[in-house]
Structure 1
Amino acid sequence: MALEIERKFLVTGTAWREAAGVRYAQGYLNRDKHRTVRVRVAGEAAFLTIKGLTQGATRAEFEYPIPLADAQALLQLCEGPLIEKTRYVLQVGQTTWEVDEFHGENAPLVVAEVELPSEDAAFDRPDWLGEEVTQDARYFNASLSQRPFQHW
């Protein structure tokens, strides 16, 4: 089984903007807490992703590339508003960080994620890393699509 072990943090400052960003649009065909089914367009690439229940910082994840036209059609079937964001990928020491700058009703939220080989793995911390929100379900993208950041 494919596992995703991910920790999530708020971001401070703007030093993370050094990387080029890719525009994302994503929506949810299912947002049940035990399983989510997501459609994502990332630039000119598209993916269908199924994620299981989060336990700690770990959950099952299955992601498959799909044709861009299919993803665009599937986004029209998604529940609620789409998540729109720009993703920046940065290397800090030996650690790869993904920083998501949200747009629309989730602006001005900026969140950084790091995928790890285990929940207790060490990682390089950038200066712009803020409070950890791994366990706060409000920051899950599926939650943000139901209750956007501006409505908290």
Structure 2
Amino acid sequence: MAVEIERKFRVTRTDFLDGVDGERLIQGYLSHARQATVRVRVHDDQAWLTIKGETRGARRSEFEYPIPADDARAMLEEMCPEGVIDKTRYRLPLDGHVWEVDVFHGDNHGLVVAEIELDHEDQPFTRPPWLGEEVTGDPRYYNSALSRTPYGRW
């Protein structure tokens, strides 16, 4: 079983992204159950179906599978009536880790978060100067929640 250990933070400024290439991601949720969320994500001509288990601290199970992009686009259109997440993701290496910084668009415009995946929950890491408050345990910042209650409506 795959396990994801991830910590999430607000980002206080975005000038460090100037000149950095990101990838546009469109994703929606087929299931929002507490025990598991099921996500479909598209980037250009690639797509994935991801199942994530219930979050416990900074840990949860995760399974991800490539699927045909046309199928994913059809799922987003037909099966994600609550809305989709539109964001640009930047990957920034720092001291042996990779920070994923998501700049949200659409109804979540104005929200910028950074995530770091760790090998264990207590693993130390360098905090970049643009990192703000930690929101790891705040369910409002889960992408599945943002698809139902966008940041712009908080």
Identity %: 57
Q: CA RMSD in A?
A: 1.0
**Do the aligned residues in 2 keep the contact of 1:7 with 1:114 (CA within 8 Å)?**
yes
Structure 1: give runs of 5+ residues left out of the alignment: none
- Counterpart CA distance in 2 for 1:133 and 1:6 is 11
Q: Distance in 1 between matches of 2:44 and 2:12?
A: 25
Question: What amino acid does structure 2 have at the position aligned with 1:25?
Answer: I
Report deviation, 1:44.
2.7
Candidates 89, 93, 97, aligned match of 1:91: 93
8 Å contact from structure 1 (residues 37, 50) kept in 2: yes
In the alignment, what sits opposite 2:54? 53
Task: Output aligned runs, 1:1-152, within 5 Å.
Answer: 1-18=1-18, 19-76=20-77, 77-152=79-154
Which sits farther off after the overlay, 16-25 or 127-136?
A: 16-25
Q: Is the 8 A contact 1:24 1:87 kept in 2?
A: yes
Is the 1:9–1:130 contact (alpha carbons within 8 Å) kept by the matching residues of 2? yes
List structure 1 segments (4+ residues) > 6 angstroms apart after TM superposition.
none
Aligned partner of 1:88: which letter?
Y
The SS at the match of 2:65 is strand
Distance 2:32 2:5 in 1: 19
Provide the C-alpha distance between the structure 1 equivalents of 2:137 and 2:32, rounded to a whole number of angstroms: 17
Rounded Cα–Cα distance in structure 2 between residues aligned with 1:17 and 1:49? 27
Q: Does the 8 Å CA contact 1:47/1:64 hold for their aligned counterparts?
A: yes
Structure 2 residue ranges without an equivalent (≥5): none
Number of matched pairs: 152
Q: TM-score, normalised by structure 1?
A: 0.96
The alignment's TM-score, normalised by the length of structure 2, stands at: 0.95
Q: Is the 8 A contact 1:21 1:89 kept in 2?
A: yes
Indicate the larger mover: 36-45 or 106-115.
Answer: 36-45
Q: What is the CA distance between 1:94 and its match in structure 2?
A: 1.5
Cα displacement string for residues 105-151 of structure 1 (whole angstroms, at most 9, x for unaligned residues): 11100000001000111112111111000000000000000100011
Q: Output the CA distance in 1 between the equivalents of 2:55 and 2:110.
A: 25
SS class of match (1:126): coil
Partners of 1:80 and 1:145 within 8 A in 2: yes
Q: 1:29–1:79: 8 Å Cα contact kept in structure 2?
A: no
